Structures are given as C-alpha cells and as structure tokens.
Chain A
Amino acid sequence: MSLGEITRVSLAKDLRLEWRSKDAINSMLFFALLVVVIFSFSFDPTAEESRHIAGGIVWVAFLFAAVVALNQTWARELRNQVLDAYRVSPAPANALFISKAVGNFIFVAVLEALMAPLFMVFYNLRSIGPAYQLVVVGALATWALVANGTFFAAMSIRTRSREVMLPLILFPISIPALLAMVSATTAILTGEGAYRFWVVLLVVYDVVFTTVCLLLFETVLHAE
C-alpha cells in the first residue's frame, strides 16, 4: 500500500474517532471561547484599537487551543498502546505523521471557522485590507502550528508530564511563525504594513519545518 493510501486510511480513522468522541474539538472550542470572553472583559478597545491587537489575541487563543488538540491526537494512540501496533507494521512512519498533521489542521480550521465570527462580534472587527487574504494567512499559520505541534507532541508522548512538555517545546520554536501570523493578520485588518513579507516568511517556515519533521519522524516514532 502506498504512502498516500495509508495516510488516507489513517486520516479517515482519526476523523471517525474524533467524530465519535469529540475529545479534541470540544475542549478546543471551550478553551478558545473562554479566551475570547476573558479578553473582551479585560480590555474594552475601540474599533481602531481592536484592529491593532486582534491579530495577537486571535492567534494566541488558537495556539493555546491547538495544544489541546495536539495532545489529544496522540493520547488516543497511547490508550491500549495502539501505537505499538503501528510500530510493528510495515506502514511508513510519515504516513502517520501526515495523517495526524492533516487531521489536526482540519480540527483547528474548524475551530477557527467557528470562532472567527465571535471574535468579530466581541471585538467589533472590520477588515480595512482585503479580507480574503485572511484565509491565506489562516491556512499557512494553521499549518505552521499543527505541523510542528504534531511532531513535538509525538516527541513528548512518552514523557511523564507530556501536557506540560508540549508547550515548553512548541511555543519557543513557534515564535517566528507566531510573529509572522500576527503581523500579517494585523496588516490585513489595518490595511497597513508589509503583508507580503510576513506571508513569505510563513511559507518558508512551513516548508522548512514540514521537511525537517518528515525527515525526523521515523526516528521519533521508533524511539523507545
């Protein structure tokens, strides 16, 4: 069976498990909703101020919420040690990585689609720049979060305090991507700043880190 076929089968399995348990999506939604509500009570920005700070709030909320999904995605492989069944099979390690990363991308994208209208309402947001660009930034930024996050979550699953370990590893390495996604979003919302530069930075970040993750994932999967 090809890499693509096993990726498809593994992704379908993950989507089915999430559809039945709703572990990741429920906890992400609840977490992101809390962040929106708490921040909206903490600040009372004008529409102009909102455009300047919303990019930061939105992406920090999504980053924290994504960590919940990233932990869940591997936690279900640890129950009953199911991951060992994959490790003793001839299936390529990268098929598992790609399926998990794509699965997490879908979960986080669903979260973003559900939370975006709430952000607009709570922060009185209206984009001055072309709003369709937010979709491009959203896709690139989400992949930056989930590709690294899936990889580092796999690294931390065998550690004793994996829920704490993942943010400790993931957040520092995500700083360049976070800077790019926040700046690009702010540039679109305010109609000012170098949108293209930040998008290119996100593309480069995605390509470099996805490549590195693919090269190293087999070692991580088969590590004891």
Chain B
Amino acid sequence: MSFSSAPANSLATNSSQPTSAAVTLSHVSKIFGRFAALRDMSAEFAAGKLYAILGDNGAGKTTLLRAMVGLAQPTRGTISLLGNEDLRAATHHIGYMAHPTLLYEEMSGMENLRYFAALYGIRDDQPCERAIRAVGLDPALTRRVGHYSQGMRQRLSLARALVHDPKILFLDEPFSNVDVVSAREMVHVLAQMRDLGKTIFIVTHQAVLLEGVADEFVFMAAGQISARARELPSSLERGAPPARTTL
C-alpha cells in the first residue's frame, strides 16, 4: 500500500479507472421478522469509484453494507463482489470498517493491526506501520486503544480496514465523533485510495464532507435506493432532506 500525494480529485480524474462492476446487487431483500430492512434492491456499482451512501436512520444503509461484506445473509436475492457470488471467497479483497471500532481496547494500535494483518496472512510489520501512518497516527504509540480519543479510534479502525490493501472498502460512519479537520484528512486519504483504483463505499450522515470527492451519492429510503446522483443536491447542502435526483 502506498498513498500518492495527489489531491482529492473529481469525476474527471477517474475517467481512466476501470469501470467493470465491483458490486452487483440482484433483487436483494433482507427481512428481520416482519421488518424489511432491504426491499428487492438491484444495483450495480462500478469499480474504482467512491460511493457515498446517504439516507435517514433506518433507511437500510448499514444493513446494505453488512450484506455486501457477508455479515448479513440476504433473505432473497444475490450479491456479487468482483464477479463472485461466494462472498467468503472474496474476503481477501474486502476492507470493512463498522460503526463500532472492531478493535481490542487492551492492546496498542500496532498490536491490534499485527493481529488483524495476520488473519490475512501478513506477517511483517511494514503494512501495519504504513496503514497507521496513512491515517495520521504514530505506529510507535504504545498506549492501549482503550486510552485513545474517539477520533484516534476511528482513524485506527480505518487503518485496520486498510491493512491488507483491499480492493473494495466498506466504511460505516467513518467520520462520526471525528473533528472536522481529522475528518477532512480521512476523506483525503480515501480519495487517494480511490485514485489508486480502489472501490469505496461510505455510509455517512456527513455528506457535505464528500462533496467534490464522491463519484456518486446513493440515496436510500425504506430499504431501497431512492436516487443516485453525481453531485450532492443543493437542498442537502442546506440541511434539507435529499432531493430525488437521478443520474
């Protein structure tokens, strides 16, 4: 993993990126008891792009992300990652950052990353140190994660998702509890990764942070994709509900 110093780019810089489907959803439904979290959702997401998934609480954003990484089995329909419907076979290519940190609080940042890297067959420290530096933390920090600030935990959680250099990143609320400056730095890192050809899905309530960076804004409502837009609707920038702008 190496991050270039290219600035956060726009749609135009991505024209040379591969456009084959990274993720394909085909009639995906996820039903919990009598509640349908996802309803007959079909969509295709091209590789090498950064998608911002937006929507109100309960719209199905997190369930969609969990289904795409294989943590939630769709009740109906199929999900294909990089052309493979067996999501277990694609785990090497997936980086997942959940709303909780997925980190052991009794271990330091490097200890955490060493462990998670080992799960992907990575034995040496270099990828761990690179991932920690990429998110603006110090690999030499011996403090336990339990003593980190919330922002540092979020950054380390992102580093954990990056450590095995995945092709597709799924990030659930990566900017929550992070100050604006740190959040913008995280966005910059993610934009660089997109420029390197990675496909990135970001579930967030802070859409404005991804303005000019995301290739597409995907709006969800009641378990379905209600709209897909290349730019953030101005109504949303002013804090109004998302407009139904389609591509």
Contacts and interface: CB of A to CB of B under 8 A. Distances in A.
Interface in B137-185: 144, 160
Nearest 9 interchain pairs by C-beta: A1-B121, A89-B119, A91-B119, A85-B102, A90-B91, A9-B118, A81-B100, A80-B100, A20-B106
Nearest to A95: B119
Interface of A: 1, 5-6, 9-10, 13, 16-17, 20-21, 76, 79-82, 84-91, 224
Contacts of A84: 71, 96, 98, 102
Contact of B160 (A1, A81, A85): A85
A177 B42 CA distance: 52
B40 interface: no
22 contacts: A1-B119, A1-B121, A1-B123, A6-B119, A10-B115, A13-B115, A16-B106, A16-B107, A20-B106, A79-B105, A80-B103, A80-B104, A81-B98, A84-B96, A85-B102, A85-B116, A88-B91, A88-B94, A89-B120, A90-B119, A91-B120, A224-B71
B115 A9 contact: yes
A16 B106 CA distance: 9
A80 B101 contact: yes
B111 interface: yes
A17 B206 CA distance: 35
Contacts of B71: 84, 87-88, 224
Nearest to A12: B115
B225 interface: no
B73 interface: yes
A91 B119 CA distance: 5
Given A1-B118, A80-B103, A85-B116, 9 more contacts: A5-B118, A6-B119, A13-B107, A17-B104, A17-B107, A80-B104, A85-B102, A85-B119, A88-B94
Contact of B120 (A21, A76, A82, A90): A90
Contacts of A79: 105
B96 A80 contact: no
B73 A224 contact: yes
Contacts of A1: 118-121, 123
B104 A88 contact: no
A105 B73 CA distance: 33
Contacts of B116: 85, 89
Nearest to B30: A224
Q: Among the interface residues A82, A86, A91, A224, which one has the most CB atoms of the partner chain B within 10 A?
A: A82
Contacts of A88: 69-71, 91, 94, 96
A110 to B, nearest CB: 19
Contacts of B101: 80
B9 to A, nearest CB: 28
Contacts of B104: 13, 17, 76, 80, 82
A79 B115 CA distance: 16
Nearest to A82: B102
A5 B120 CA distance: 11
Contacts of B160: 85
Listed residue (B101, B118, B144) with the most chain A CB atoms within 10 angstroms of its CB: B118
B92 interface: yes
Contacts of B119: 1, 6, 9, 85-86, 89-91
A17 B98 contact: no
A157 to B, nearest CB: 15
- Most B C-beta atoms less than 10 A away, residue of A16, A81, A89: A89
Interface in B75-101: 88, 91-92, 94, 96, 98, 100-101
A50 to B, nearest CB: 41
A160 to B, nearest CB: 15
B162 to A, nearest CB: 13
Given A80-B100, A84-B96, A89 B105 contact: no
B72 interface: yes
Which of B69, B72, B106 lies at the interface centre, i.e. has the most chain A CB atoms within 10 A of its CB? B106
A84 B91 CA distance: 12
A78 to B, nearest CB: 10
Nearest to A2: B121
A87 B101 CA distance: 14
Given A1-B121, A9-B118, A85 B107 contact: no
Nearest to A5: B118
Contacts of A86: 119
